[in-house]
Amino acid sequence: MRYFSSLNSEATLKLFGQSHGTLYPVNRPVGIVAVKVFNLSRWGVSNSFIIECEMFRNIRHRNIVKIIVTSCPSIDVRGNDFKALVYEFMPWHGSLEEWLHPRFGTQNPPKNLNLLQRLGIAIDVSCALDYLHNHCATPIVHCDIKPSNVLLDGQLTGLVSDFGLARFPSKPNTGSVGYVAPGKKASNQMFLNDRDLRTSIEMALPAGVKEIAYPRLFLQEDGHITRPLQECLSWIFGIGIVF
């Protein structure tokens, strides 16, 4: 397919992988676009492509990745089925997963988000979900909100991506509403002995904020806990428990 011929070029840079495909920057006469190529060898990916096409025909929001072309089925140079979506290209800073849980042993310097940046990203994701649930013509449930599906642009604004598991809850037989991942991994020791995220936070508040928050967020250079930040975090976690 001529439109995506540059995907075979050595100059094409692989940006990052997602659960059902990989996103590439492609240089076109009109400028650079981001092309998500679906991995059709994985079970269920063709159906995910159809779901994403349907979803993106109905959604537009500042905290949701912007799509240019919603359906690009074709045949690749080897004669295999080829399915892709074309997104607006932006100077990405990777996914939230890369910032919260950086891989050790890489040559890149470790990434770190301060409290205001983390709070801003949380608000960005909340705004996107509020739009999907309450302000679309037909409500949409993402069903796969997790750090790896939250992309960060050049200003570290959070944008929700990867709608391959999304559902219209108003339609029958749409299945589970899915799992919403916390900032900590499910294998974290705080979740042992049948403790879940909500219970762990309730038990820690207000004095035990240090047990559930990233320590570097509220430690001064002398190692003492900064009280205003501790109170701020307690207030933020309290909102999470209410909702």
Is pLDDT at 126 greater than 70 in this prediction? yes
SS3 content of the chain, % helix, strand, coil (to 5): 35, 15, 50
What's the whole-number average pLDDT of the chain? 77
CA 33/CA 53 separation, integer angstroms: 17
194 is catalytic: no
What residues does 219 pair with on adjacent strands?
Answer: 225
Tell which wins on pLDDT, 135 or 19.
135
Please report the pLDDT score of residue 120 as a whole number.
95
Q: Each residue of 135-164: pLDDT tens digit?
A: 988 899 998 898 988 999 989 999 998 888
Confidence class for position 80, pLDDT limits 50, 70, 90:
confident
Class (C level, CATH) for 2-88: alpha beta
The mean-pLDDT minimum among 4-8, 101-105, 109-113 falls in 4-8
Please report the pLDDT score of residue 177 as a whole number.
46
Q: Under 8 Å CB-to-CB from 15, ≥6 apart: which residues?
A: 22, 23, 24, 25, 34, 92
Is the pTM higher than 0.75? The answer reads yes
Please report the pLDDT score of residue 122 as a whole number.
93
| Domain assignments of the chain as residue spans, ordered by start | 2-88, 192-242
CA 223/CA 203 separation, integer angstroms: 24
Please report the pLDDT score of residue 3 as a whole number.
43
Pick the catalytic residue from 144, 194, 196, 222. 144
Tokens linked to 155: 């200003």
Q: State whether residue 182 is helix, strand or coil.
A: coil
Please report the pLDDT score of residue 210 as a whole number.
81
Max avg pLDDT among 13-27, 45-59, 109-123? 109-123
